[in-house]
Structure 1
Amino acid sequence: MNALLKRVWFGLAATLIVSLAAVALPDHIQIEDDGRIHLGAPAPTPSPSTAAPTPESTAPPLTRDAVDEVIRTAVAAAGLDPAQGHPSVAADANSKRTGWTAVREKATAPSEMNAICADLERQGWTLNPNPQGDRPDASRSYKRGGWYLLVSTRGKTQAPSTTSDLTDSQSSLNLTGIQLNLSDIPLPEITVRIG
């Protein structure tokens, strides 16, 4: 019985680790058809017929002020007044986090989110899909210049505590930015088989 419990706990722990890694680093997760999960990006094998990869941009990372301006621009492009919402992180609180949130009508929030996402892409932000749990109608993640920006709509039950007074017909429209430099975190290649 103890051996069975150990296997169950190990399986749950492995699933939790894979789930967290899939959210934080979707580009470094590969799930095979046979149930094997590869964590970490394997070293590419050079092929004589392929050209050398293009080096990543050496542009400096974005500042929080620049990300705040990106958010204001995207919100305005969606036809909203940035002053209708409020910052979700105080301006002097943290230079690696920022955000904006507003209470919107549930019927219009998805189209407003789509307009914000379209403007982020116009501004050069890259969609950072999470293949494990992507819900393009409720949230999308973007990355650029060392920042990750999550655009989401949440109803009454999932909204942040700051908007807990939502009615059933309202939704919280959120942009949450966090500065991460995940390329500095080395990930060894690990293969896990569950089952």
Structure 2
Amino acid sequence: MTDQPSLFSDDQLHQIRASRFRSREPVAQISAYALKSWKQRVHNFQDQIQLSAPVQQGSLFDLAPPHADPDSIDPFQLPQQNTEFWKGAFEDVGVAALYFVLDQTDSLLLYVGETCHSNTRWKGEHDCKRYLQNYVAAHRPHDLSVAVSIGFWRDAPAETKPRQQLEQALIQKWRAPFNKENWRHWGTPFVGGKK
């Protein structure tokens, strides 16, 4: 008796088997009106934050970034890249950073995070990746534009505790809706599909 060759590589078989054991609850479809209303509420709040941002006076002697001041970081001014950036080839693991996931179409800050390895943070499982997938999928049936991206602020403190404190201050300031701390403000329409 001869062995029949497989249609799939060992890696593909592993992925197929692994995906069979994950419960993927479909996210209930959200109406176009509800989606637009949700986004408008978030936008209105975050727009007020931008409009009321204090003016920062520069100094010729500021040699280090003001790590403890969340008002000095504008997530919307950071260079943006595709949220699939982590699939690229990197020579190193990156640096300590804060990162901000945006929907550039509507100028929404969706998520604030921190990492000690900016180039590898999103490899593997990450709840925000699922929320983003659900968020983008909610736009498709209504032919609504969406453009998610991620920007890194690479001047974050190298020490974990100060970096996490700054992250929390920014989560609270912007009320980023994908951060669990803010679900009470915006609800959880994109959280479905538990792993």
TM-score range (shorter-chain normalised) is under 0.3
TM-score by structure 2 length?
Answer: 0.22
Per chain length, whose mean CA-contact separation is higher, i.e. which structure has more relative contact order (CA < 8 Å, sep 6+)?
Answer: 2
